[in-house]
């Protein structure tokens, strides 16, 4: 977890109250009312790496797995079943967009690998 910095009022030196609404960081001095605003980007928002999720093969996929796979890939039921049995790339894109697909795969008991290694939490 990233440690938060403390911000101090440039007018009176009091610790400022911070409200973070991505990507805006609004600072207000509780003593003199001075207000400042800036942007604060998370590391994941700045990551330009292209990540890929490849599902590992499943010999006997459940009906639920086939349905969700078809929805994720835009393929029909028969094609989806065959792709699940082989393993298939279901996502290619930036880090901040990967989490949703990974959560769906986790919820439906898919095993997968992320290439290159994904340095962020999926939860």
Domains of the chain: 9-40 (no CATH), 47-115 (3.30.1390)
* Mean pLDDT in residue range 108-114: 97
Per DSSP, what are the bridge partners of residue 26?
A: 19, 37
Quote the pLDDT of residue 70: 97
Collapsing DSSP states into helix, strand and coil, what is residue 62?
Answer: coil
Q: How crowded is residue 74: how many other Cβ atoms within 10 Å of its Cβ?
A: 8
Quote the pLDDT of residue 97: 94
pLDDT tier, 103 (very low <50, low <70, confident <90, very high otherwise) = very high
Quick check: 112 pLDDT over 50?
A: yes
Average pLDDT for the chain: 92
pLDDT tier, 68 (very low <50, low <70, confident <90, very high otherwise) = very high
Structure tokens at 99: 């989490």
Q: Which residues contact residue 108 at a Cβ distance below 8 angstroms, ignoring those fewer than 6 apart?
A: 64, 65, 68
Quick check: 92 pLDDT over 90?
A: yes
Contacts 24+ apart (CB under 8 A), 9-12: 9/34, 10/34, 10/36
Quote the pLDDT of residue 24: 85
φ/ψ bin of 23: left (φ > 0), alpha (ψ from -120 to 50), beta (otherwise): alpha
Selection from 77, 67, 74 nearest residue 110 by Cα: 67
Q: How crowded is residue 122: how many other Cβ atoms within 10 Å of its Cβ?
A: 13
pLDDT tens for each residue of 1-57: 344 568 899 999 999 998 888 788 899 999 999 999 988 788 998 999 999 999 999
Quote the pLDDT of residue 4: 59
Distance separating alpha carbons of residues 105 and 96, to the nearest angstrom: 16
């Amino acid at each position: 977890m990233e440690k938060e910095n403390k911000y101090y009022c440039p007018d009176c030196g009091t610790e400022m109250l911070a409200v973070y609404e991505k990507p805006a960081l609004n600072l207000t001095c509780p003593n003199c009312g001075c207000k400042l605003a800036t942007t604060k980007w998370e590391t994941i928002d700045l990551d330009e790496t292209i990540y890929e999720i490849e599902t590992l093969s499943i010999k006997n996929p459940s009906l639920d797995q086939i349905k969700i796979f078809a929805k994720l890939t835009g393929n029909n039921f028969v094609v989806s079943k065959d792709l699940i049995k082989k393993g298939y790339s279901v996502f290619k894109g930036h880090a901040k967009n990967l989490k949703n697909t990974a959560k769906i795969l986790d919820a439906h008991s898919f095993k997968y690998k992320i290439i290159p290694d994904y340095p962020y939490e999926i939860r």
